[in-house]
Chains A and B, each alone.
Chain A
């Protein structure tokens, strides 16, 4: 296939190679997406093309009639969803302008086919495969007055550093430990020659550290990371929260979606899969307080690890939040559920009442369930199953946008090297201390887990949005699209950060936050499709 090939986005279809005399069998199932428009980022069923064209024509006429001379009115207040689904995008504009027009065919969010990725469209632009190679060039070496100076020598050493890191990881993969050890010595030497305060020097040193731990301690079985105390975990988490916008974006976007899902509901119940310090909830409580028509009764169930040191952190946070709720006149009840693993939680512990609207909130938690399963089956399936049984109005999922769960060590190593380089790059922009250093330690623990650990000790099993979509769809959830208002507000949040490199992108109804053009965190919202049989809750 040459560069003229019409489907640059798909390797899989080819009708030209058949040498039989019969005409090739029709390769296109009825739900086939059009290749050409896919290359432009749009998903339109081949069968719908003429209809979409007609609608576009209609839309233009209606636009002209409704506000001749100034179409920008349409851009101001209306909320839009999932522009990739061109058919429903056009239809939603048509209904917006002309509510009396009945729209036939697909509705918003309705591009559901049995195979969500028939052309391999997602596989060929997998978000997890991209990288930000700025670690290889234009390394920022700070001059005396904070200027950025690039020295060619520095660049060569950086490139070499990455090259040797990869070679060392390859050696580890092949089990050649003595070679790996020698390479680690090399790496230490190279680290000494780059500026380890920033850029590749900084993140490189964490990876060298992780590799050397793996080489020294039973590499086949991986190391077991030393657990930090709950208190130490909280400190690192809090500083990570302050130093960069990833957690804030997660909380903010989740709260938006939850707020919308709770519209018109008088009794609402939020289940937080990882309460931590409850940083997400004051904003939601205040937003509910200001809701037109008054706040609902809010129940919050916070899940967290059992405490080892006699404190009851869940209860402490619960009390603080209750205090806040009282001060803004929101009727509030809190319940803590201590569990070391999410698959230890049973639905009855959450005491969900049938009258409540339920929101399940999972910020960077679901990936921990992708490890080896026990006798009851894969933990992720168990948990998604009981979530579904709760019949939540919204399941909010925020996850790291990368594939750190590949079976081959080398693939995981490479992927995480790119991912965390980008993340560290974004952290470079933060100057506040000790926030920055502690945030780096927080990230370092993730790196160590991905690189050094195996089996059930390896909990940081990040998977990209593409994979989560597959999982959640097969587990009986339907997407709830995050729209242009959430997008706009996320961008406004980012302007609070002086670093100009963060980018929010819309991805088929989900939002991602990244550094420059590399998405690092993906937020998606889901709704449970009720099971066919009668649902019993709160057993």
Chain B
């Protein structure tokens, strides 16, 4: 970095900040910029990660068995894996009888419903495989909304993160969570008395949801649908959207590269099948009982070309996929209910699950 580059960089960052500020509401801009700058401090050039500072900075919230806006939550540790799942449940006002603190326990003796279908969404939080946790405030808030939206249960999985735990740890944790959910008698609903499972995730969580669904399809484990919120995919090639949007809306391509290097096995490149689903090393999904998918793409996300390629890949394999393209959305648009895209997304997710 010569002295001239410094000034060029500084200049272009000012332009970028102004562009993003025009498109993004103030609160969102503050929130995502804060993450961006903090995350910059955590990634080291040698590929290691300042986990201590990351945990210090991450705002966490505890579970709460007292319903707030109809949703209560509690944490469960799966002893065989030592993994934490946070379970959220929606209690409609008519059902909220009895002492609240006890409600969480007593309800777990019975299935969710003997007659109605109650969806159970397994949610994988984002963070590029590296940041955040199931009990991060932004994800706790999001999962509460999702729970109220589908009027069911959300299970948020605290999967192991990179660089400490690389591929395939997160996928294995997702798979364990799926099996765990399917085997809970208290998550069963409907006349068929089974657990009605959906998978969902944002960013890296979306990537995990895909891979877990793939494994489920190969193992005959039922998943009723996938919701992928600007899922993290990539490849060696530099796509047009990556070049065009690099550094413009909170994310730089070199950051994306860092996270893939931290997640993929050492020495691997971005055409690894974990990353490039329908690329040269991907496997075919044709003929598999793969669930229907809702793929949400943010128009200002530099990764969109890979997400669109994913959608095409699913279609070519004969699978049911709906693309929700939100033109003016940036990453993280769904954290705050202060923009149209947020409400569109809520509506679409609700329809996808309740249909």
Q: Which residues of A come within 8 Å of B, CB atoms? A: 1-6, 8-9, 11, 34, 36-37, 39-42, 44, 49-50, 52-53, 56-57, 59-61, 63-65, 68-72, 74-76, 80, 83-84, 86, 90, 93, 124-127, 129-134, 136-140, 148, 150, 152, 159-160, 162-163, 166, 410-411, 414-415, 484, 487-488, 491, 500-501, 504-506, 516-519
A57 nearest in chain B by CB position? B17
Tell me, in angstroms, the Cα distance from A63 to B346 when the chains sit together.
36
**B40 contacts which chain A residues (CB < 8 A)?**
63, 71-72
Q: Is the CB of B145 within 8 A of A80?
A: no
Q: Which residues of B come within 8 Å of A, CB atoms? A: 1, 5-6, 9-10, 13-14, 17, 21, 26-27, 29-31, 33-34, 36-37, 40-45, 50, 52-53, 55-57, 59-66, 68-69, 74-80, 82, 84, 86, 99, 101-102, 104-106, 108-109, 134-138, 141, 144-145, 147-149, 184-185, 335-338, 343, 346
- B355 nearest CB across to chain A (Å): 18
Q: Is the CB of A6 within 8 A of B337?
A: yes
**B60 contacts which chain A residues (CB < 8 A)?**
41, 505, 517
**A41 contacts which chain B residues (CB < 8 A)?**
59-61, 136-138
B40 nearest in chain A by CB position? A71
Best-buried of A1, A37, A133 by chain B (most CB within 10 Å): A133
Q: Is the CB of B75 within 8 A of A124?
A: no
Q: Is the CB of B77 within 8 A of A138?
A: yes
**B42 contacts which chain A residues (CB < 8 A)?**
72, 75
Q: Is the CB of A517 within 8 A of B84?
A: yes
Known: A75-B41, A162-B105. A134 touches B79 (CB 8 A): yes
Tell me, in angstroms, the Cα distance from A534 to B60 when the chains sit together.
42
Best-buried of B10, B30, B37, B52 by chain A (most CB within 10 Å): B30
Kindly list 11 other residue pairs between chains A and B, CB separation below 8 angstroms, not including A75-B42, A133-B75, A516-B77.
A42-B31, A49-B27, A71-B43, A72-B50, A76-B50, A86-B30, A129-B62, A132-B77, A138-B79, A500-B82, A518-B63
**A415 contacts which chain B residues (CB < 8 A)?**
101
Best-buried of B42, B60, B62, B68 by chain A (most CB within 10 Å): B62
Known: A36-B27, A69-B1. A3 touches B141 (CB 8 A): no
Q: Which of A1, A39, A74, A136 contacts B105 (CB 8 A)?
A: A136
Tell me, in angstroms, the Cα distance from A9 to B148 when the chains sit together.
14
**B41 contacts which chain A residues (CB < 8 A)?**
71-72, 74-75
**A84 contacts which chain B residues (CB < 8 A)?**
59
Q: Is the CB of A64 within 8 A of B10?
A: yes
- A155 nearest CB across to chain B (Å): 9
Q: Is the CB of A517 within 8 A of B59?
A: no
Q: Which of A5, A56, A80, A137 contacts B57 (CB 8 A)?
A: A80
Tell me, in angstroms, the Cα distance from A506 to B17 when the chains sit together.
30
A137 nearest in chain B by CB position? B76
Q: Which of A11, A37, A60, A137 contacts B33 (CB 8 A)?
A: A60
- A202 nearest CB across to chain B (Å): 15
Q: Which of B37, B53, B84 contacts A516 (CB 8 A)?
A: B84
Known: A72-B50, A134-B77, A484-B52. A414 touches B102 (CB 8 A): yes
**A76 contacts which chain B residues (CB < 8 A)?**
50
B343 nearest in chain A by CB position? A4
**Could you list 25 A-B pairs, sorted by A, with CB under 8 Å?**
A1-B69, A2-B148, A3-B147, A40-B335, A49-B30, A53-B26, A57-B33, A60-B36, A64-B10, A72-B42, A72-B44, A72-B45, A126-B66, A129-B101, A130-B63, A132-B74, A133-B75, A133-B104, A136-B108, A137-B108, A137-B184, A138-B80, A160-B109, A487-B52, A506-B56
Q: Which of A2, A36, A68, A491 contacts B336 (CB 8 A)?
A: A36
Q: Is the CB of B109 within 8 A of A130?
A: no
Tell me, in angstroms, the Cα distance from A61 to B138 when the chains sit together.
26
Tell me, in angstroms, the Cα distance from A8 to B78 when the chains sit together.
28
Best-buried of B9, B136, B338 by chain A (most CB within 10 Å): B9
B16 nearest in chain A by CB position? A60
Q: Is the CB of B62 within 8 A of A519?
A: yes
Q: Is the CB of B9 within 8 A of A64?
A: yes
**A131 contacts which chain B residues (CB < 8 A)?**
63, 65, 74-75, 104
Q: Is the CB of A488 within 8 A of B52?
A: yes
A70 nearest in chain B by CB position? B45
Tell me, in angstroms, the Cα distance from A116 to B255 when the chains sit together.
38
Tell me, in angstroms, the Cα distance from A437 to B82 when the chains sit together.
24
Q: Is the CB of A3 within 8 A of B145?
A: yes
Q: Is the CB of B50 within 8 A of A130?
A: no
Q: Is the CB of B64 within 8 A of A124?
A: yes
Tell me, in angstroms, the Cα distance from A39 to B78 when the chains sit together.
27
Known: A72-B41, A148-B79. A11 touches B68 (CB 8 A): yes
**B69 contacts which chain A residues (CB < 8 A)?**
1, 3, 5, 8, 11
**A152 contacts which chain B residues (CB < 8 A)?**
185
**A59 contacts which chain B residues (CB < 8 A)?**
37
Q: Is the CB of B76 within 8 A of A138?
A: yes
Q: Is the CB of A484 within 8 A of B149?
A: no
**A50 contacts which chain B residues (CB < 8 A)?**
26
**B27 contacts which chain A residues (CB < 8 A)?**
34, 36-37, 49
- B108 nearest CB across to chain A (Å): 6
- A401 nearest CB across to chain B (Å): 10
**A71 contacts which chain B residues (CB < 8 A)?**
37, 40-41, 43
Tell me, in angstroms, the Cα distance from A469 to B61 when the chains sit together.
18
**A134 contacts which chain B residues (CB < 8 A)?**
75-77, 79
Q: Which of A34, A53, A64 contacts B13 (CB 8 A)?
A: A64
Known: A83-B59, A133-B76, A136-B108. A60 touches B37 (CB 8 A): yes
Tell me, in angstroms, the Cα distance from A134 to B85 when the chains sit together.
10
A44 nearest in chain B by CB position? B30
Q: Is the CB of B14 within 8 A of A61?
A: yes
**B99 contacts which chain A residues (CB < 8 A)?**
410
Tell me, in angstroms, the Cα distance from A53 to B28 when the chains sit together.
10
Tell me, in angstroms, the Cα distance from A52 to B34 when the chains sit together.
10
**A519 contacts which chain B residues (CB < 8 A)?**
62
Q: Which of B53, B75, B343 contacts A130 (CB 8 A)?
A: B75
Tell me, in angstroms, the Cα distance from A65 to B96 when the chains sit together.
56
**A61 contacts which chain B residues (CB < 8 A)?**
10, 13-14
Tell me, in angstroms, the Cα distance from A129 to B99 when the chains sit together.
13
B139 nearest in chain A by CB position? A40
- B41 nearest CB across to chain A (Å): 4
